Amino acid sequence: MKLVCVFLSRIVPSQKWLLSIPLACTMWFFTDATFAQAAQGAASHPAELVVPSLKITPAVVGPGAQTSMILAATKAGNRIVAVGEHGIILLSDNDGHAYRQAKSVPISSTLTSVNFVDAKVGWAVGHWGAILKTVDGGETWKLQRSDIKVDQPLFSVYFKNDHEGWAVGLWSLFLATRDGGATWNSVTLPNPPGASKADRNLFNIFPDRSGGLVISAERGTIVRSEDDGETWSYIDTGYKGSLWAGTVLNDGTWIVGGLRGSILRSTDQGQSWQTSQTGTKSSITQIIAGEDGTITAVGLEGVVLTSRDKGLTFSVAQRPDREDITAGVIAPGGKLVAFSMDGPVKSDGAAGE
């Protein structure tokens, strides 16, 4: 078997650290016989890459789940829900001290994002264009959508309430629902300025404080809707790298980050941008806004950044083992619960505690 990554619309040799980036690299497995053919097809028609025949099978429940790659995590009430490779979903009801695997997940593709609207109802998305829904806090999941003919992964999901939601992914893949995911409709973005087609990789979707929606994307691009997802426009941040993560603060400040430790902020809904001082070149994989106004950003090489001045400056800490951090949530008391390519991160030696 060969593993290749489609990274920024190009096929490049895989490196281990790329696998820890939930929103920058989508993976396909090919046999030796199909590798060259698939690679050639991807180069000429990247958005139409057809993968070898796949079969949807449930995620396996087993002891290896807690050491498997985790790519995203969130809170469902007081519960932590984390998702990752092979359809693995981990649950913790004691702030990350212990985990158990979800009882039933109907698909074994890699999951890249998870979002809950309350303690019970949530969605997860991932490879094979998969969209899953739970109504029991993540214990069991139902498959709402998948496409195994063309593996165009979804990278992020956000629900405004229990019926309005959006999912975004590779090469401007964009889906929306108004009925809780019973039906999903494609959203066609306009072409970016100067481009002949909408081909941006859409990495992270999140709400602003004025009722709009924001998507951080590649090439320093922000995609924004001011009318509840009806129309979309592009914002140029002035940065040229990929923006894998984003959030909005209680006062409406937008914070986005990505390659080489870059974090940018806007206090006027994207009209102007300032570069924050982070003190690191390690790429940012997630940004978390705490209820007390503290901003926590996690990234590769065990980096944890903390800001208490609305993202103007960050203090940097780093795990001694430099374990790549792929996701995190903030537990009561401000403790960071982090995840990695090898599952939940052990607290001993952790940065930012």
The per-residue DSSP string of 162-203 comes to: SS-EEEEEGGG-EEEESSTTSS-EE--PPPPTT-SS----EE
Enumerate long-range contacts of 271-280, CB under 8 Å, 24 or more apart.
273/237, 273/238, 273/239, 274/312, 275/239, 276/307, 276/311, 276/312, 276/313, 276/314, 277/312, 277/313, 277/314, 278/305, 278/314, 278/316, 279/305, 279/314, 279/315, 279/316, 280/305, 280/316, 280/318
Q: How much is the pLDDT for 25?
A: 41
pLDDT in tens, 227-274: 989 999 999 999 999 999 999 999 999 999 999 999 999 999 999 999
User: What's the CA angle centered on 287, arms 285 and 292, to 5 degrees?
Assistant: 155
| 40 φ/ψ angles, rounded to the nearest 5 degrees | -65, -40
Tokens found for residue 350: 């952790």
Residue 327 in 3-state DSSP?
strand
pLDDT in tens, 174-222: 999 999 999 999 999 999 988 888 889 999 999 998 889 999 999 999 9
Q: How much is the pLDDT for 43?
A: 37
Q: How much is the pLDDT for 211?
A: 85
Low-confidence ranges of the chain (pLDDT < 70): 1-53, 348-353
Residues in the chain: 353
DSSP summary character for residue 236: E
